[in-house]
Amino acid sequence: MAHIKVEEGVPGIRSLVLFRPETGKPLYELAQVLLRGESSLTEAERELIAAYVSSRNQCSFCMNSHAAAARCLYEDDHMMVDDVLNDMQASRLTEKLKALLNIAGKVQVSGKAVLQEHIDEAKKSGASDREIHDTVLIAAAFSMFNRYVDGLASLTPSDPAVYKEMGTRMAAGYRLPQKSIT
Amino acid sequence: MPHIDFKNDLPGIRSAMAFRPETAAPLSALAEVLMRSDEGLTRLEREIIGTYVSHLNDCFYCNHSHAAIACIYADGDSQMIDSVRADYTSAPISNKLKALLAIAAKVRKSGKLVQAEDVEKARMEGATDKDVHDTVLIAAAFSLFNRYVDGLATTTPADMTSYSVRARQVADHGYGAHIYSPNPMKAK
């Protein structure tokens, strides 16, 4: 059960932003611009960074939902998502994406863990300043979302089918959920 | 030196926000609604939580920036802010804020560490669900801000007087676009 009184049956962050839409609005706007806005990283790649960080934080709700969104966006290549979550270095990802995920993994631990050599590695494989910026911010943002979702013990569904449906909806974009009118 | 070329000379989070105004807008909107609301928790209590989390994360820029803002809301009582950072359990703050700081410190490490009894303790000291919510989200948001600032190795001003100057601008004008505009407060 959640630590605070949220709408029953509503999972994860949705229950929290329905509880407090004033803070929910900028949170969803951040997710939308960061994961769906104009970028040289594909939406699938950005969702993969989100799922990777959430997996390292063991945030089951964020990991499962963003992995589902990434699978949906990777379409025929959806196996990529599970390969990366199982063993990022052994996956078929490009060197650039591996270097960016490596930076994301450092940010997950601490911003200070990102060293010049990690940045050099990413730049050497073709990452732009903007891509490095967005990777750091996505990893930082999921360091927030994961703590928000788990820190208030929001509902985490266990049925994979729920996440599949969620992922399809998320692939279309992030819009602040509205209270259902009964 | 910063990890990327921000194409500006701003310090800390301001350099990263000016580099990418599209993401800066929701980030500053979040800070404004979360840190400048007087509903439930006061602005001072909110800034104390942000300062404390940044202190534990050893994020120099956020720690000193938010301590300076808290100090303004505390009418200049910097000793109180220092005592919270040194050992909040013996600081001259309410038992409610102490219970909320205990939750914030757990969230900083991992959301999973927060137990029902931590929340129960805060509730017994008068915290509402909204207070608990805002505490968790402030601690989570500073887990973002601290990583953003340090993960890109943004510039940290060495001149300690600059923090109180900026703090005054935030206290007066909030977390608006002036945060990421170069020299917005230049005297006319």
Give pLDDT tens digits for B131-152.
Answer: 999 999 999 999 999 999 999 9
Asked if residue A177 belongs to a domain, the reply is no
Residues in A touching B29 (Cβ below 8 Å): 25-26, 29
Asked if residue A148 belongs to a domain, the reply is yes
CA distance A54 to chain B (A): 12
**Cα–Cα distance measured from residue A93 to residue A139, given in angstroms and rounded to the nearest whole number:** 18
- In chain B, the number of structural domains is 1
Q: Which helix (H) or strand (E) holds A23?
A: helix A21-35
Residues in A touching B145 (Cβ below 8 Å): 140
Return the number of CB contacts < 8 Å for A and B. Answer: 153
**Cα–Cα distance measured from residue B133 to residue B56, given in angstroms and rounded to the nearest whole number:** 20
- Give percent of chain B with pLDDT exceeding 70: 96
Asked if residue A41 belongs to a domain, the reply is yes
Query: Residue B116 and residue A3: Cβ atoms within 8 Å?
Result: yes
Q: Report residue B113 CA to chain centroid gap.
A: 21
Between A27, A59, A152, which is nearest B30 by CB?
A27
Residues in B touching A149 (Cβ below 8 Å): 111
**Cα–Cα distance measured from residue B35 to residue B173, given in angstroms and rounded to the nearest whole number:** 12
- pLDDT by residue (tens digit) across A151-161? 999 999 999 99
Residue that has been written with the tokens 């943002």 in this structure:
A141
What is the CB-side half-sphere exposure of residue B139 using CA atoms within 13 A?
A: 30
Residues in B touching A146 (Cβ below 8 Å): 111, 140
CA distance A76 to chain B (A): 30
List the single residue in A with minimal CA-CA distance to B119. A3
SS3 call for B4: coil
Asked if residue A9 belongs to a domain, the reply is no
The residue segments making up the domain with residue B132 are 12-175
Q: Which of A138, A177, A23 lies closest to B32, judged by CA? A: A23
Asked if residue B2 belongs to a domain, the reply is no
Query: Residue A152 and residue B111: Cβ atoms within 8 Å?
Result: yes
- Return the DSSP state at A153: T
- Return the DSSP state at A95: H
Query: Residue A110 and residue B147: Cβ atoms within 8 Å?
Result: yes
Domain with residue A67: its CATH number is 1.20.1290.10
Judged against a pLDDT cut of 50, whether residue B188 lies above it is answered with no
CA distances from B142 to A95, A126, A151, B47 (A): 31, 30, 14, 11
Dihedral of the CA atoms B36, B37, B43, B47 (nearest 10)? -60
**Cα–Cα distance measured from residue A91 to residue A101, given in angstroms and rounded to the nearest whole number:** 12
Domain with residue B40: its CATH number is 1.20.1290.10
Asked if residue B5 belongs to a domain, the reply is no
CA distance B79 to chain A (A): 28
pTM: 0.97
Asked if residue A12 belongs to a domain, the reply is no
- pLDDT by residue (tens digit) across A2-49? 999 999 999 999 999 999 999 999 999 999 999 999 999 999 999 999
- Give percent of chain B with pLDDT exceeding 90: 92
Q: Which of B36, B120, B133, B138 best probes binding to A when mutated, by most A CB atoms within 10 angstroms?
A: B133
Query: Residue B25 and residue A5: Cβ atoms within 8 Å?
Result: no
CA distance B3 to chain A (A): 7
Phi, psi of B94 (to 5 degrees): -65, 155
Asked if residue B118 belongs to a domain, the reply is yes
- For the residues B114-124, what does the mean pLDDT come to? 98
- In chain A, the number of structural domains is 1
Residues in B touching A22 (Cβ below 8 Å): 33, 37
- The pLDDT of residue B164 is 95
- For the residues A95-101, what does the mean pLDDT come to? 98
CA distance A178 to chain B (A): 19
Q: Are B170 and B69 in contact (CB under 8 A)?
A: yes
Task: Give me A9's structure tokens.
Answer: 């049956």
The residue segments making up the domain with residue A77 are 19-171
Asked if residue A81 belongs to a domain, the reply is yes
Asked if residue A25 belongs to a domain, the reply is yes
Residues in B touching A132 (Cβ below 8 Å): 3-4, 152
Phi, psi of A108 (to 5 degrees): -55, -35
ipTM: 0.97
